[in-house]
Chain A
Amino acid sequence: KDDDQHRQALFRATQYNSNYTWRSFHRLLDLERGSRVDGLVGLKQYFVRFGYLISTNSADSVLSDAFDARLETAVLRYQASLGLPVTGKLDATTLSEVMAPRCGVPDLNPNRSRAAETVQR
């Protein structure tokens, strides 16, 4: 019961702080490897954008709604990089952070961004 209350409180905070861009991610709460849910592809694009997932080609698994091993690795990296509990699951703490407004600079390999390419030239 305590866990449920904690989760509800956390999620109210998440929704208050959630942004318009990533608000729909709240539907992904508690997903883990093996799940398949409409909208998961949006989360994968988020992880691609911020350096946690690398899209190799247009036909790869980044375009599917499956919670596969690559997404699990991305979630683990995300949690470790931002000092969150490392669970590999889309728990309330992780989703709360994902949905928070943030800086557009990637967290990992920031020089992969076009911004950095411009600098290098």
Chain B
Amino acid sequence: FTYFTGKPRWAGRKPLTLTYAISPEHTIKYVATADVAATIRRAFDNWARVIPVRFEEATNYESADVKLGFYGGDHGDGEPFDGVLGILGHAFSPESGRLHLDAAEQWAVDLGKESSEVAVDLESVATHEIGHVLGLGHSAVKEAVMYPSLSPRTKKVELKVDDIEGVQALYGSNPNFRLNQTVQSETSSAIALRDAIKKS
């Protein structure tokens, strides 16, 4: 895992509460608003499980700590989007709270119901970008959520040890979370993969 220069993080009393909101203007039309909201909720929950930070959906977009929206092309922050695939999204280091997704993508909230070859899983990208919002940079671990690339039609939402250790170094651990369960899970996966390779 890596951090932004200076290791910025959200400050505040523990347990820290951050509010978030999805832009009512900069959104996508082909996915129901409730489905987008539920998917973004799950993305925040992926991080809330491992750190003592609560994420609450704000009713007022302007006053939310984290502002999420779908933008196309040059949208005024100096980092224009590039159309289908290429750049999927970007987010800003703490305590900016801006999280932008490329409106040109074929966003999917359920890959099983989306037939497009270039469909991009919304929860996966949102989970990655929330990692940036919290202060993480990119990881060299291919399986980690914070690895910079994501192939179309791929779901990667489960935080790996690398992601967890990185974010917990910034915010501490959620008292209800046990890291060794994740370590065991990753070890089991690695053993299963090794066995499958041997077998083949």
A residues whose Cβ falls under 8 Å from a Cβ of B: 16-22, 50, 80-83, 97, 100-105, 107, 109-111, 113-116, 118-119
Assuming A19-B85, A81-B140, is B120 touching A101 (CB within 8 A)? yes
The minimal Cβ–Cβ distance linking B174 to chain A, given in whole angstroms, is 25
User: When the two chains form the complex, which single residue of A19, A21, A110 contacts B137, counting CB atoms closer than 8 Å?
Assistant: A110
User: Are B83 and A20 in contact (CB-based, < 8 A)?
Assistant: yes
B36 within 8 A of A: no
Known pairs A81-B140, A115-B78, A118-B96; list 20 more (Cβ under 8 Å): A17-B151, A18-B85, A19-B84, A20-B83, A21-B85, A82-B140, A82-B148, A83-B142, A100-B151, A101-B87, A101-B149, A103-B88, A105-B148, A109-B5, A110-B4, A110-B138, A115-B90, A115-B91, A115-B93, A115-B96
Contacts of A19 in B (CB 8 A): 84-86
Of A81, A102, A113, which is within 8 A of B87 by CB? A102
| A101 and B88 within 8 A (CB) | yes
Assess whether B160 is interfacial by the CB under 8 Å rule.
Answer: no
Number of interface residues of B (CB under 8 A): 41
**Alpha-carbon gap, A18 to B4, bound state (A):** 28
CA distance A46 to B190 in the complex (A): 33
> Is B138 a contact partner of A105 (Cβ separation < 8 A)?
yes
Which residues on A sit within 8 Å (CB–CB) of B151?
17, 100-101
In the complex, per-residue mask of B73-99: 1 if CB is within 8 Å of any chain A CB, else 0: 000011101111111111111111010
Assess whether B6 is interfacial by the CB under 8 Å rule: yes
Do A116 and B90 form a contact, CB below 8 Å, given A82-B140, A105-B138? no
Complex: A9 Cα to B137 Cα, angstroms: 31
